[in-house]
Structure 1
Amino acid sequence: MKTSIFAAGLAAAILSAGAASAADKYVLDSGHSQIVFSYNHLGYSTSYGLFSGFAGDIMFDMENPAASSVSVSMPVKSMLTGWEERFAHFMSPDFFDATDDEMVSFTSTGIEVTGENTALITGDLTLNGVTKSVVLDAKLNLANDHPMAGKPWAGFDATTTLVRSDYGLGKFAPYVSDEVSVMISVEAMKAE
């Protein structure tokens, strides 16, 4: 789930037409970056959750995008579900059995630019103590100087699908879908 956001920032920075040729550090705009996940609940409905307010760093090199990287992490307990009982169940031993300091992290391992504004970002997602390789399908939305901040900014969307049982979170599958759809929308600003 966290995976998509991390990769999205990197893709936007890499594909940015106005970026410098040397590797530059960008940081995620925590106020305008979010990860939305969804899953089928018993065939009756689609349930949603959200991660927001997280931070991460992107190093990108416009001359050699494959040499760019991204690293992001966030507390598991920063998850929002819209219903306190669902959040409590997700944090229980049935799923995360989360502590206050348990983190979700994503570190990119490779980037394949697939078009003028698209890229596949591969990286290691660590979730619930398990690390798996995931691929984010990323699209650059806009890359230029921010009209209010007056400095380089990039925004992008990305998607992926996770299999929750791969991360030891398969309780109630297949009745509650094992596949979780992840949608990411991220903004990143050039670091000072």
Structure 2
Amino acid sequence: MIRLSSAAFAAALVAAPALAEPVNYVLDQGHSQILFQVNHLGYSTTYGMFSGFDGQIVFDAEAPAASSVTVSFPVATMLTGWEARYQHFMSPDFFDPAKDQTVTFTSTGIEVTGENTAKITGDLTLNGVTKSVVLDTVLNQAGEHPMEKKAWLGFTATTTLVRSEFGLGAFTPYISDEVPLTINVEAGVAG
């Protein structure tokens, strides 16, 4: 569910092509990423990314409480910058390839916290475990995309996961249990 403050809501209304019913926005795979970081033994911070994932935002301008966000992608799309690290992540130490490793997020609630900020709560399924997470979210922009010539939304969200809660606690506490995420999403009206 996405619900915005008055100013952000008004900006999103301007972007919506049809105000009488919910509008589907499809994630722009080329401009949506999830970045994560882990502290390695206190010596360095290692970064990784997921990109090219599927998802949609259903935005109901007249009843924002009825809006929703869904995202899904296979964990195998992880990018780490080093093949040996990727292979280790895809081993039984972390993401066992024998399991279904589809990551999903489905929104369940919202709390507006400012002019263009909100806390989006949702169910995250990761490594076969589903937990509620809260995304601190900023609406970056809503309007007509200058090249696509259609309604477009852009958001940045952050959260921190405790990886051991998802059955991914190998090598803690030497490798950080807390994993900060930064999520950047662009979405264009479907069609």
Q: Give TM-score, length-normalised by structure 2.
A: 0.90
Matched, 1:123 2:116: no
Structure 2 counterpart of 1:74: 73
Structure 2 counterpart of 1:181: 180
Is the Cα contact below 8 Å between 1:39 and 1:177 reproduced in 2? Answer: yes
Unaligned runs of 5+ in 2: none
CA distance in 1, matches of 2:99, 2:29: 20
CA distance in 2, matches of 1:11, 1:78: 30
1:116: how far off? 1.8
Which segments of structure 1 move beyond 2 Å, counting only runs of 4 or more?
Answer: 19-22, 98-102
Moved more, 156-165 or 101-110: 101-110
Q: Within 5 Å, give how 1:102-181 maps onto structure 2.
A: 102-181=101-180
Is the Cα contact below 8 Å between 1:76 and 1:102 reproduced in 2? Answer: yes
The SS at the match of 1:57 is strand
Deviations 1:36-66 (A, max 9, x none): 0001110000010000001101111122222
Moved more, 100-109 or 133-142: 100-109
- The residue type paired with residue 118 of structure 2 is A
CA distance in 1, matches of 2:3, 2:99: 30
User: Could you tell me the percent identity over the aligned residues?
Assistant: 67
Matched, 1:64 2:63: yes
Q: Note closer, same or farther for the CA distance 1:55–1:187 as it changes in structure 2 (3 Å cut).
A: same
1:188: how far off? 0.2
1:17: how far off? 4.0
CA distance in 2, matches of 1:175, 1:11: 39
CA distance in 1, matches of 2:99, 2:55: 19
Larger CA Rg, structure 1 vs 2 = 2
The SS at the match of 1:156 is strand
CA distance in 1, matches of 2:100, 2:152: 30
- The residue type paired with residue 165 of structure 1 is S
CA distance in 2, matches of 1:101, 1:172: 23
Unaligned runs of 5+ in 1: 1-6
If asked which structure has higher relative contact order (CA below 8 Å, sep 6+), I would say: 1
Deviations 1:114-152 (A, max 9, x none): 222111100000000000000000001111000001000
Is the Cα contact below 8 Å between 2:95 and 2:101 reproduced in 1? Answer: no
CA distance in 2, matches of 1:70, 1:87: 28
Is the Cα contact below 8 Å between 1:106 and 1:123 reproduced in 2? Answer: yes
Tell me how many residue pairs correspond in the alignment.
Answer: 183
Q: Give TM-score, length-normalised by structure 1.
A: 0.90
CA distance in 1, matches of 2:99, 2:30: 22
